[in-house]
């Protein structure tokens, strides 16, 4: 049996029960066969980024983050937008990845949980920052899954079938992109 593709799930929100957390928990619930998802829990523990501290030995939370990224075959991000851009805590997480090489050429996508017409500033900033890390953005896996609180079960997971299907497809596309990258045929269809 082949080793499952590991997709690291990164939330841009620190708020417990946020729409972003709901999306990622739902992604975990609909993970397709051959894929394993790991939810990174710990962005609040990261120290404020300081280039002087981006040296070995790294602060422990930073070392754990980079190790989790390195161990993953792909990344899936779900982040809110604050004041027209990424939340400060999530931008801090990304800043800690710029000095490493863990994200370089790794398939990355994001899911926006924002209502239609919102979240565009966060997406634009995310695209810019990921460009600095050398990530292989998988455009075909970047989707919008607005969260209707009426369609969230008591377990914090989306019950609406269409949203669940879109998230399962995102994970499948990311896993396929990781396989394509491993076989040196490119980072998958629709990457930039």
CA angle 108-188-110, nearest 5°? Answer: 25
Is the residue at 105 inside a domain?
yes
Is the residue at 188 inside a domain?
no
**Which residue range forms the structural domain that includes residue 130?**
5-182
Is the residue at 71 inside a domain?
yes
pLDDT per position in the chain (192 positions), as tens? 678 999 999 999 999 889 999 999 999 999 999 999 999 987 899 999 999 999 999 999 999 999 999 999 999 999 999 999 999 999 999 999 998 999 999 999 999 998 888 899 999 999 999 999 999 999 999 999 999 999 999 999 999 999 999 999 999 999 999 988 777 544 444 556
CA–centroid distance for 83 within its chain: 20
Q: How far is CA 158 from CA 22, 25, 31, 163, in A?
A: 7, 9, 13, 7
Number of domains forming the structure of the chain: 1
Is the residue at 190 inside a domain?
no
Is the residue at 191 inside a domain?
no
Is the residue at 176 inside a domain?
yes
Is the residue at 101 inside a domain?
yes
Is the residue at 192 inside a domain?
no
Domain CATH for 25: 3.40.50.360
């Amino acid at each position: 049996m082949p080793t499952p593709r590991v997709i690291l799930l990164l939330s841009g929100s620190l708020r417990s029960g946020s729409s972003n957390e709901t999306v990622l928990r739902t992604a975990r619930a609909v993970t397709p066969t051959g894929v394993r998802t790991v939810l990174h829990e710990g962005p609040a523990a990261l120290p404020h980024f300081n280039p002087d501290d981006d040296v070995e030995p790294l602060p422990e939370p930073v070392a754990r983050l980079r190790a989790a990224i390195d161990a993953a075959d792909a990344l899936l991000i779900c982040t809110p937008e604050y004041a027209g851009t990424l939340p400060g805590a999530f931008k801090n997480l990304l800043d800690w990845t710029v000095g490493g090489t863990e994200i370089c050429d790794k398939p990355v996508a994001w899911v926006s949980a924002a209502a239609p017409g919102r979240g565009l500033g966060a997406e634009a900033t995310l695209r810019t920052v990921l460009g600095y890390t050398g990530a292989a953005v998988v455009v075909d896996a970047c989707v919008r899954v607005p969260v209707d609180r009426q369609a969230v079960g008591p377990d914090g997971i989306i019950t609406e079938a269409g949203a669940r299907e879109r998230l399962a497809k995102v994970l499948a596309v990311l896993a396929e992109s990781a396989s394509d990258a491993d076989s040196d045929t490119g980072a998958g269809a629709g990457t930039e």
